[in-house]
Amino acid sequence: MFTGAEFSRYSNQYYYAYITKHRLEDTEEFRTMFNRAFYFGAQYAMRTSSELSPHIARFMEFVMWLTERGEYE
């Protein structure tokens, strides 16, 4: 889970990389829109990964079970 400082650091990195790449002007209005979109994107990523977590864990258990059997060595 991100702390406020970590989230801010990552947001700043992506923001400055984006405006540099696309040669955009650094305005307060654009910064606010970017922060809002970054925040919603982070929320979506957390929600999606938490929904997938049980399935990924089951898959990893299955893979470990297969490798422990020793038939494929």
**Res 23 pLDDT > 90:** yes
Instruction: Quote the domain boundaries for residue 59.
Output: 4-69
pLDDT (mean) for 34-57 = 84
- pLDDT band at residue 2 under the 50/70/90 scheme: low
One-letter amino acid of 19: I
pLDDT at 5 over 60: yes
pLDDT of residue 35: 87
Structural domain total, the chain: 1
Q: What's the pTM value of the predicted model, to 2 decimals?
A: 0.60
Structure tokens given for 65: 């079970």
CB-CB contact of 52 with 17 (8 Å) = no
Residue 43's contacts (CB-CB under 8 Å, 6 or more residues apart) are: none
pLDDT at 4 over 80: no
Over 90: is that where the pLDDT of 20 sits? yes
Question: Buried b / exposed e across 34-55, counting CB within 10 Å, b at 16+?
Answer: beeebeeeeeeeeeeeeeeeee
